[in-house]
Amino acid sequence: MVMPWPQPEDDPFHPAWDPPAHHDEDARLAAIAAQRLSTDWTTRRQQIVVTVQNRVVILAGTIADLETRQVAGELAWDIPGVADVCNTLRVAQRGRRHR
């Protein structure tokens, strides 16, 4: 096996591949969205999962009512840098009584 001699411009401490910058931005947006949802009185006790892909916030999980769904979407849209919001939150079905 022959190992090539490093060139002067090669930095041995710098990885050969840098992840695209949007991955850092997606992580930042996800953290902001999760923080906002956890502090808002309408959404803080709900089961909401936040993911971000290419600056699109994806909200998933089960929530109590339609108002909570709307508030969660609005909180995500208010974050600077968000390109779109995919709100897939579902309202929990209450137990039905059978006769």
Q: Domain boundaries in the chain?
A: 21-91
Task: State the pLDDT at residue 74.
Answer: 98
Dist. CA 63–CA 61, nearest whole Å: 7
Q: What is the CATH number of domain 21-91?
A: 3.30.1340.30
pTM to 2 decimals?
0.73
Q: Is the pLDDT of residue 19 over 70?
A: no
Pairing of strands 56-63, 47-53: antiparallel
**Of 1-15, 65-79, 84-98, which range is least confident?**
1-15
Band (15; pLDDT cuts 50, 70, 90) = low
Q: Is the pLDDT of residue 44 over 70?
A: yes
Partner residues linked to 84 by β-bridges: 56
